Amino acid sequence: MHKFDFDRFNISSLVSCFLEYKKKMNIHVIARVVYAVASLRTKWRMQMR
């Protein structure tokens, strides 16, 4: 998984980027993607053990 570099971006640019992304994407699609990534991460962690 990619770790987000908070040193390179400040909060305002993050928020504006997120708002710009939200205009294009439906909130349900974003929620589905987040859920898919979380479930994949959980499966990966279980396999690593």
Q: Give me the sign of the Cα torsion angle 21, 26, 27, 29.
A: negative
Give the predicted TM-score (pTM) of the model: 0.39
Average predicted confidence (pLDDT) for the chain: 77
Domain ranges of the chain: 11-48
What does the pLDDT look like over 3-24, one tens digit per residue? Answer: 655 556 677 787 887 888 777 7
Residue % of the chain over a pLDDT of 70: 80
Residue 35, CA distances (Å) to 8, 11, 22 in order: 26, 23, 17
- C-beta neighbour count of 3 within 10 angstroms: 5
